[in-house]
Amino acid sequence: ADFTVLCCGGGNAAQVATGLFSIRYKTIAVSFYADEAAKWKAALGDEDFELTLPGGKVVKSKPHDITNDPSVAATANVILLVVPSHAHGEYFEKFAPYMKPGTIVACMPARSGGDILFSSKLGEKAKDMIFCGFETLPWACRFTEWGRKATILGTKNNILAAVSPATAKQAMAKLQGLLGVNPWVQDSPNNLGISLRNPGMIVHPGVMYGRWGPESWDGQPKDESPLFYQGVDEFTEKILIEMTDEAQAVARKAEQLVPGLDLSDACTLKQWYLDCYDGQMTDTSSLKRCMNTNAAYDGLKHPCKEVDGKHMPDLTYRYLSEDVPTGLCFAKGLAEIIGIPTPTIDKVMIWAQGCIGLEIMVDGKMTGKDLDKTRAPQGMGITTLPAFLLASKIPALL
Ligand code: NAI
């Protein structure tokens, strides 16, 4: 049978991935979001999909189908989720009854805890499947004509990814084959390292808190939307350093508790900037300066809404509504399981949960009624380290 790839989602990334993989493989685009699949199928009609590559070359291809029917998972060799992470659970759940043993399910980007969510949604079946978490999307990309044309603005040179179980190394080779020469997929030892490396869970909520939290903002509108990265000041830097240090404490304690567990990819935020933006920052002397002087961030502003010609922050933007549930909640939940105090993460979380209308922490504990809408292990019924390691497919001598 043909090597079959499912590309899930319908936004920028999913359209680009569908165009790219359709060139060489039997590719089925799947979207469960509203009537997006039917709309996309109608928009494309009998035409080819046009993908513009960096440098301007245009390639045409045609997906085998565009559907909202989960049963196509029965034919899939690889299922790629290229959607915002809050949608991952729905895809896992709907595909679960159809997936055949050995199916590779890859999330780009995975954010945090995608592996344990996958285990919790698949139940018994999870042990026969391979989960792959990518630290980021390989491309900067946009559709230019919805459903018909898209552009890859740039492709990353290297990205980190991990497979669960770690023994399924052949899955990584298959994914590298799908992606082509660029990006080079660097094998990370486990998905826990990818989860705790997630820079967005620190940067986005941390910078939002630093600017709009109760310690620094008077609630009044601003004349301009402030700069997001270039505007990081000493107070915000302090919050970010405390958060990244708390996440580090979680990683180092986990390494102590689980002999042989390698979480070296779960680095500090500053180290992540040095790894990923080498040469694009004019001053790397501090975390603040890495963020202030990164050319890739030039001019990027805080998400704001205009009110009477002035600017108010959008406190429901994905920097809080995605990065808290599928990032910070994972790290905080694991911290609680292994007994690491996280006072600054708690402070940011308690502020953020109010902004996004979720109850996550109650009286300093991960017991809120909305935990099941997050990647906190507690929301999946996981409250002990052995249960966590089982869901993570990390063999442990416990
Ligand atoms: P997007 O915003 O274009 O994705 C929209 C799609 O998400 C929709 O078309 C739908 O399929 C799905 N969706 C939205 N709301 C939903 C809901 N309530 N329920 C179910 N599905 C829903 O995002 P894009 O650009 O495709 O990015 C995908 C992921 O990749 C995101 O996590 C993004 O942060 C990340 N990323 C994107 C980059 C880019 O250049 N586009 C670069 C780096 C990361």
Decide if 258 contacts 203 (C-beta within 8 A). no
Decide if 86 contacts 325 (C-beta within 8 A). yes
Question: Would you name the residues annotated as active-site residues?
Answer: 204
Q: What pLDDT score was predicted for residue 157?
A: 86
Which positions of the chain have pLDDT values less than 70?
Answer: 1, 397-398
Q: Does some domain include residue 34? A: yes
Supply the pTM of this predicted model.
0.96
Decide if 33 contacts 87 (C-beta within 8 A). yes
Q: What pLDDT score was predicted for residue 365?
A: 97
Q: What pLDDT score was predicted for residue 343?
A: 98
Decide which of 129, 153, 188 is a domain's last residue. 188
Q: Which two tokens stand for residue 214?
A: 């109760």
Which among 94, 137, 153, 373 is the best mutation to test ligand 1's pocket, defined by most ligand atoms within 8 Å of the CB?
137
Q: Which two tokens stand for residue 277?
A: 């933006």
Q: Examine the domain organization and report whether 182 and 210 are in the same domain.
A: no
**DSSP class of 186:** E
CATH number of the domain to which 354 belongs: 1.10.1040.10
Ligand 1 centroid from CA 143, angstroms: 12
Decide if 327 contacts 250 (C-beta within 8 A). no
Q: Examine the domain organization and report whether 260 and 361 are in the same domain.
A: yes
Query: Rounded to an integer, what distance in angstroms lies between the CA atom of residue 176 and that of residue 190?
Result: 17
Q: What pLDDT score was predicted for residue 2?
A: 86
Decide if 294 contacts 286 (C-beta within 8 A). no
Decide which of 140, 155, 188 is a domain's last residue. 188
The total number of structural domains that make up the chain: 2
Strand-strand pairing, 158-164 and 184-187: parallel
Decide if 92 contacts 105 (C-beta within 8 A). yes
Query: Rounded to an integer, what distance in angstroms lies between the CA atom of residue 182 and that of residue 387?
Result: 37
Q: What pLDDT score was predicted for residue 181?
A: 84
Task: Classify the complex by whether its ipTM is higher than 0.90, answering yes or no.
Answer: yes
Q: Examine the domain organization and report whether 91 and 216 are in the same domain.
A: no
Q: Does some domain include residue 398? A: no
> Which residue minimizes the CA distance to atom 23 of ligand 1?
11
> Which residue minimizes the CA distance to atom 43 of ligand 1?
137
Give the three-state DSSP class for 185: strand
Q: What pLDDT score was predicted for residue 398?
A: 44
Decide if 46 contacts 39 (C-beta within 8 A). no
Q: Examine the domain organization and report whether 312 and 370 are in the same domain.
A: yes
**Lining residues, ligand 1, CB within 6 Å:** 9-14, 31, 33, 36, 82-85, 87, 109, 136-137, 140-141
Q: Render 203-261 in DSSP notation, one character per residue.
A: HHHHHHHHHHSTTT--S--BSSPPBSSTT--HHHHHHHHHHHHHHHHHHHHHHHHSTT-
**For the chain, what percentages of helix, strand and coil (3-state, to nearest 5) are there?**
45, 20, 40
> Where in the sequence is the domain holding 297, given as residue range(s)?
197-391
